Structure formats: structure tokens, C-alpha cells
């Protein structure tokens, strides 16, 4: 697979990986080996960064769009993420609240759907058929 794909699967920023990783091809077996027993460079990269947008967003508790709205365009290190969490700017507080609202709405909809499914089961309706 391409190095970009492997980096995404490993949750690392490709540009921060060693040259031999960036310039080579990664087989499925090599990827599995990296995941099962990460070398030192991969452990350090995962621990200290810089991290790709998806990882930064997850660590900050916001969406990728929230990062963009907050003006975060560059990869961040773990130390930079910790600094933001220790003294969150207004945009981060707002985006975390927005994300919490989205998660609450998803839970509400899932609960509602589960309740509806339970009522259909109790009523004996299977959701179709001629009832023969």
C-alpha cells in the first residue's frame, strides 16, 4: 500500500515519519508488524506528535471542521495539544460544547430508535410481510 494509506492506518503524520517509510511501499504484513510491535520511531511519533488533523481533533474533543473554524491549520504536537487543553481559547470551548451537543443528539436518536424497535417487537410486528 502507499505510505499515505499506511500512515493513516497507523494514525501518524506521514511528513513526520522516517524517509524510508515515506518513500517505500508498505505491505499488509509490514503494516500488521508495525501495529503489533511498533518500532521506537513510531512509538515516539504517536506519543509526541506532530499529529494528523483527525488525531488532533479527537484529542481536543472537537470535529475536523471545528479545528478549521478555530484556525488550526497545521499539525500539533502532544505538548501543544496539552497547552490548549490547559488554557482553552474561546473557540475550543465553543467547539467542545458543539461536539457534546452532537453526541447527545446522536444518543437521543439511538435511544428513540431502540425504543421504537422494542415496541414493534412487543406488538408482534416484524416490519413487513403478509402476516400469513
The reply to whether 128 falls in a domain is no
Dist CA 27 CA 36 (whole Å): 14
> Is 112 found in the same domain as 97?
yes
> Is 110 found in the same domain as 71?
yes
* Structural domain boundaries, residue 81: 52-122
The reply to whether 23 falls in a domain is yes
**Number of domains forming the structure of the chain:** 2
The reply to whether 76 falls in a domain is yes
The reply to whether 131 falls in a domain is no
pLDDT per residue as tens digits for the range 66-96: 999 999 999 999 999 999 999 999 999 999 9
- Please state, in angstroms and as integers, the Cα–Cα distance from residue 98 to each residue in 6, 76, 83, 92, following that order: 31, 21, 21, 10
pTM, 2 dp: 0.78
Q: Which residues contact 79 (CB under 8 A, 6 or more apart)?
A: 48, 49
Q: Which residues contact 32 (CB under 8 A, 6 or more apart)?
A: none
| Mean pLDDT rounded to a whole number for the chain | 93
The reply to whether 130 falls in a domain is no
- Please state, in angstroms and as integers, the Cα–Cα distance from residue 112 to each residue in 31, 45, 115, 127, following that order: 40, 41, 5, 17
pLDDT per residue as tens digits for the range 92-129: 999 999 999 999 999 999 999 999 999 988 877 655 55
Amino acid at each position: 500500500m502507499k505510505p499515505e494509506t499506511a500512515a493513516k492506518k497507523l494514525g501518524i503524520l506521514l511528513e513526520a515519519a522516517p524517509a524510508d517509510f515515506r518513500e517505500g511501499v508498505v505491505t499488509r504484513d509490514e503494516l500488521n508488524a508495525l501495529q503489533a510491535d511498533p518500532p521506537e520511531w513510531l512509538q515516539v511519533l504517536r506519543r509526541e506528535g506532530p499529529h494528523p488533523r483527525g488525531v488532533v481533533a479527537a484529542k481536543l474533543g472537537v470535529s475536523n471542521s471545528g479545528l478549521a473554524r478555530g484556525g488550526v491549520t497545521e499539525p500539533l504536537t502532544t505538548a501543544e495539544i496539552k497547552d490548549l487543553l490547559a488554557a482553552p481559547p474561546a473557540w475550543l470551548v465553543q467547539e467542545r460544547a458543539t461536539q457534546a451537543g452532537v453526541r447527545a443528539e446522536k444518543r437521543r436518536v439511538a435511544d428513540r430508535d431502540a425504543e421504537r424497535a422494542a415496541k414493534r417487537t412487543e406488538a408482534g410486528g416484524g416490519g413487513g410481510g403478509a402476516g400469513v
